[in-house]
Structure 1
Amino acid sequence: MKHPIYINSFGSMSALGHEEDSILKQYQSDSTHFSKLKLNESSVFGASLSASSSKVIQDIAEENQRYKALDKSVLMAMYAARKAVSNLKFNPEATGINLGSSRGATALFEKHHKDFIENKTLSPLTSPTTTLGNLSSWVAQDIGVEGPNIEHSITCSTALHAMLNAKAWLQAGMCDMFLVGGSEAPLTEFTLAQMQSLKLYSTLDTDYPCESLKLDKNKNSLVLGEGAAIAAMSRSSKNALAQITGFGYATEQITHNISISSDAKCFQKSMKMALDEAGKAEVDAIVLHAPGTKKGDLAEMKAIEKTFKNLPRLTTNKWKLGHTFGASGMLSIEMALLMLKTGEFFENPFYPYAKQTSEITSVMINAVGFGGNAVSILLEKPEP
């Protein structure tokens, strides 16, 4: 690695809350955060923002007349970015933003499209408030960033791809700091129906409807959730939450529109690349992508078994807060940061592991999406 890269701050909002102390308590508990949502004549589980987080979003929308026209995903990203820079001094011209979303301004797009179909009329704000660049551009406007402003969509690995891009900018000396992450508000009728049509959505009616990392499940159990998460990356170790010691990525040739190989060759390559860059063969823990689907969870597990001689401690967070698509990788980064901060391992209820008391000092985070585009990020506890 040319220059060390660090995560200096973080902000998020999900079904777990929007303040670090409450989020940590949720990870230390065995509770889930799903509720029933109406879909046509039936209902499905989803992980919505809490009442207090929803109030924060509403307050942001009320701050400015222009903000009232924005999608929920954009407002969540604005909060996460404000949180991430709240204790940082940054040069606006030397700070970049790279955010993303799998679906974009989902609810707002569906609303405008419905208006057009029913009334053949459209608001003039339809295009500017539903364009893909909405997240990064409004965040830049809100917090006053004047550097490169990038938004992309690489399905469920979107946020971790933003970290790859930020690394290149930072190591090239083209920016001093980069805000990276993703935001997703997918609990809409059309988006939920899409997941149901793929036969991926959970039909379980239990306290744990998403069986992420349960390897012997007999049906798919994906459940969607809302969330936004943004990290500040830089070459400065000052007050660093973690050092990013390994970056890995790979894209494999897929044989089906929604599947990867049975042993996730893309993950084997991305994890090995991250380990090689860090000069490590082992890590203390892995936060898996594990969406709760039968094939997806098993494929990633097989990739881990082929990559590591000794299995690290394995966990996920989708069983607790749902799959947040483009934001999911960065919310997994948050889980890893909290494990590094506390030294604790946050268990997954479906995966048995040998109890260990050693402190967590290194965590790998995986993400992949439709298209076989895997990313693996290795975080280590920074030196005092």
Structure 2
Amino acid sequence: MPARRMRYDVAVTGVGMVTPGGIGVRPSWDLILRGDSTASTDPELAGLPVDFSCRVPGFDADRLLGRRIAWRQDRMAHLGLVAAREAIADAGLDPKSWDGTRVGIVVGNALGGTRLFEEARSALVSEGPRQVPPMLIPQMGLSSLGGFLAIDCGATGPNLTTVTACASGATAIGTARDLLRSGVCDVVLTGGTEAALSPTIIAAFHQLGALSNRGDDPATASRPFDIGRDGFVAAEGAGILVLERPADARARGAEPRALISGYGASADAYHPTAPRADGAGVEQAVRMALADAGTPPEEVDHINAHGTSTPLNDVAEAQVIRRVFGDRPAVTSVKGALGHTLGAAGAIEAICTVLSVQHGVVPPTANLNNPDPQVELDIVTKAPRAMPVSTAISNSFGFGGLNAVLVINAA
């Protein structure tokens, strides 16, 4: 196990979410606690072998952001900006009065502006090059949310985009913590966004064999750790957190929701898409995060699992959890409710873990009715479990064997 280091806590003072559960933290969290599924037939995917997804309901970018801002951006930036504005307000910060040179941005994204790219490609083929939008490159780039967010709130400090597939959001949070540790920033806006429910992306995931094929009953398709799982359900969403040093937060009268106390990252160095069956890379990241936080495994009360509902990932992750923690922590996966938000998943699930720590409740894993016998864990099902959560971890793993794990503690 890696050597322990002096623990360095950063405070989570604000959170914002836009998910298939709703626009905002409250509706998203309420749906997750109910264990409702958000998967349904998607008209934009009509005619594909997999024609269902988890979309954000009722999202009107013109109304939420204003048309002058919305027209310049792809949907993935729209989702991230709305979540960021909520997080900043939740933290009690006013961008008009802060020192922007001390405010950094680190956001994760996996696939960029796929929807606008598909539309531009179609216009090129059918109508010629003059119909390709001149703003396509700044709209579709993976770094676009970071740039647009900086403009929106006047943050002129370091601005980074992390791209570690479906671990991107968690990688961003760990990187943001390092910016605070280094003293470069006093406030960091961090998290992840994704809006890649375009036909080509969904067709590619299907060809890869990654998606559930339960088109006859989409609401039950995402079933993490269930014996009948057959793939994930693609989703969109965004999660943004405001991070500060605890002393700085309290000096301005802000009460932290929770603390980010540890971060671990690793690469399986094994396969472009499949996880290592023995989970060695995942275990390395978990133990790195625990060592970084100075936390022994027996002190962990809750694990927000990556839990994708894919046959290989769920078993590999469960075996690592069992090996490192035994069967004591209460485990959940919110992907049964929200689907897999790809590059945003690590951020959304980190926020869910923060809320579990803050409120002492672990949400259920939706659609888990027949647990896989290879998954020997205490998985929360059917209803939320009220319990003290002093220490929790949030797992995030991505294609390429890219792993990121966060340790989250009570403030």
Instruction: Measure the CA separation in 2 of the matches of 1:100 and 1:276.
Output: 24
Once the two structures are superposed, residues 201-241 of structure 1 have per-residue CA deviations (whole angstroms, 9 ceiling, x without a partner) of 11123331111122x23x52210111011111111253111
Task: Give the partner amino acid of 1:169.
Answer: L
Moved more, 236-245 or 361-370: 236-245
* Alignment of 1:20 onto 2:20: no
Alignment partner of 1:28: what SS?
Answer: helix
Question: Equivalent of 1:223, from 213, 228, 233?
Answer: 233
Instruction: Measure the CA separation in 1 of the matches of 2:193 and 2:387.
Output: 34
Answer whether contact 1:157 1:369 (CA < 8 A) is retained: yes
Instruction: Measure the CA separation in 1 of the matches of 2:296 and 2:99.
Output: 34
Once the two structures are superposed, residues 69-107 of structure 1 have per-residue CA deviations (whole angstroms, 9 ceiling, x without a partner) of 311111111111111111224421100001121111110
* Alignment of 1:46 onto 2:62: no
Normalised to the residue count of structure 1, the TM-score between the two structures is 0.92
Structure 1 residue 125: deviation in Å? Answer: 1.4
Once the two structures are superposed, residues 179-204 of structure 1 have per-residue CA deviations (whole angstroms, 9 ceiling, x without a partner) of 11111112111111011001111112
Moved more, 144-153 or 189-198: 144-153
Answer whether contact 1:271 1:376 (CA < 8 A) is retained: yes
Question: Equivalent of 2:66, from 62, 68, 82?
Answer: 62
The residue that corresponds to 1:83 in the other structure is 86
Alignment partner of 1:31: what SS?
Answer: coil
The residue that corresponds to 1:251 in the other structure is 267
Residues 55-134 of structure 1: pairs in structure 2 closer than 5 A = 55=60, 57-64=61-68, 66-86=69-89, 87-89=92-94, 90-121=98-129, 122-134=132-144
Structure 1: stretches of 5+ with no match in the other structure: none
The residue that corresponds to 1:193 in the other structure is 203
User: How many percent of aligned residue pairs carry the same amino acid?
Assistant: 24
The residue that corresponds to 2:345 in the other structure is 328
RMSD, matched Cα = 1.9
Question: Equivalent of 1:178, from 180, 185, 188?
Answer: 188
Question: Equivalent of 2:164, from 146, 149, 154?
Answer: 154
Aligned residue pairs, count: 375
Structure 1 residue 133: deviation in Å? Answer: 1.7
Answer whether contact 1:94 1:147 (CA < 8 A) is retained: yes
Task: Give the partner amino acid of 1:269.
Answer: Q
Answer whether contact 2:308 2:335 (CA < 8 A) is retained: yes
Residues 217-296 of structure 1: pairs in structure 2 closer than 5 A = 217=228, 220-236=230-246, 237-238=249-250, 239-254=255-270, 256-278=271-293, 279-282=295-298, 283-296=300-313
Question: Equivalent of 1:30, from 22, 29, 35?
Answer: 35
* Alignment of 1:8 onto 2:20: no
Task: Give the partner amino acid of 1:323.
Answer: H
Answer whether contact 1:7 1:232 (CA < 8 A) is retained: yes
Moved more, 343-352 or 227-236: 343-352
Task: Give the partner amino acid of 1:62.
Answer: G
Task: Give the partner amino acid of 1:49.
Answer: V
Answer whether contact 1:213 1:315 (CA < 8 A) is retained: no
Structure 1 residue 29: deviation in Å? Answer: 0.8
Alignment partner of 1:331: what SS?
Answer: helix
Task: Give the partner amino acid of 1:265.
Answer: A
Question: Equivalent of 1:364, from 387, 393, 399?
Answer: 393
Alignment partner of 1:323: what SS?
Answer: coil
Instruction: Measure the CA separation in 2 of the matches of 1:156 and 1:230.
Output: 16
Instruction: Measure the CA separation in 2 of the matches of 1:262 and 1:159.
Output: 24
Instruction: Measure the CA separation in 1 of the matches of 2:67 and 2:136.
Output: 21
Instruction: Measure the CA separation in 2 of the matches of 1:363 and 1:242.
Output: 10
